């Protein structure tokens, strides 16, 4: 076997080995990250005691393997004020996940993105109570615009 052929084979197998290692490591890290997001995360949902859709969101979070603490309050004004959530961004409940708030019936894709990317924001919000979101009955009839908030100011985080 010629010297050039030996070098080619050695280079080829080295690149192949590193590629397999990289792909395996990437997939494993991603799976571990998703597992850590869900199974180790304790979240607190602030809601009113009689709100059925808020309880529906609690059930949704539990189905996604979060450990949920429910805190029932007669008024959520103090929580909205504490986290500087403007009136136009508010919904019927506020969820606290680590250093972030999740305002309203935010779909899991947005929660997952928030926890994976860990942006420098205070939280995310889906204002109102859109039909078809987690905890809300009905079928989705329009895109959901999820906002990110920082110091009470909002911008689009993502559209689902």
Which pLDDT score, from 0 to 100, does residue 151 have?
A: 96
Whole-model pTM: value is 0.75
User: Residue 2 — pLDDT band, cuts 50, 70, 90?
Assistant: low
Instruction: Say yes or no: 15 and 48 in one domain.
Output: no
Instruction: Say yes or no: 78 and 22 in one domain.
Output: no
Instruction: Say yes or no: 87 and 124 in one domain.
Output: yes
Instruction: Say yes or no: 67 and 36 in one domain.
Output: no
pLDDT digits (tens, 9 = 90+) for 58-86: 999 999 999 999 999 999 999 999 999 99
pLDDT digits (tens, 9 = 90+) for 105-157: 999 999 999 999 999 999 999 999 999 999 999 999 899 999 999 999 999 99
Q: What is the DSSP string of 85-145?
A: --GGG--S-EEEETTEEEESS--HHHHHHHHHH--SSSEEE--S--TTSTTS-S---S--E
Domain of residue 18, residue span: 1-40
Which pLDDT score, from 0 to 100, does residue 35 have?
A: 46
User: Residue 23 — pLDDT band, cuts 50, 70, 90?
Assistant: very low
Instruction: Say yes or no: 27 and 86 in one domain.
Output: no
User: Residue 41 — pLDDT band, cuts 50, 70, 90?
Assistant: confident
We report the CATH number of the domain holding residue 65 as 3.40.30.10
The total of other beta-carbon atoms located within 10 Å of residue 14's CB is 10
Instruction: Say yes or no: 82 and 150 in one domain.
Output: yes
Nearest 5°: the CA angle 100, 104, 109 is 70
Give the count of domains, the chain. Answer: 2
Whether the pLDDT of residue 99 is over 60: the answer is yes
Q: Provide the b/e sequence for 120-137 (b: ≥16 CB within 10 Å).
A: ebbbbbbbebbeebbbbe
């Amino acid at each position: 076997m010629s010297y050039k052929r030996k070098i080619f084979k050695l280079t080829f197998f080295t690149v192949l080995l590193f590629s397999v290692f990289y792909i395996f490591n990437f997939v494993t890290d991603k799976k571990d990250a998703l597992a850590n997001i869900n199974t180790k995360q304790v979240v607190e949902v602030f809601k009113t005691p009689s709100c059925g859709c808020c309880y529906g969101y609690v059930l949704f979070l539990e189905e996604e393997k979060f450990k949920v603490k429910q805190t029932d309050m007669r008024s959520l004004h103090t929580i909205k004020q504490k986290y500087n959530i403007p009136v136009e961004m508010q919904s019927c409940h506020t969820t606290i996940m680590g250093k972030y708030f999740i305002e309203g019936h935010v779909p899991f894709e947005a929660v997952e993105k928030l926890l994976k990317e860990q942006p420098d924001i205070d939280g995310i919000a889906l204002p109102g109570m859109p039909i078809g979101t987690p905890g809300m009955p009905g079928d989705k009839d329009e895109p959901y615009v999820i906002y990110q908030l920082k110091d009470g100011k909002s911008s689009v985080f993502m559209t689902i």
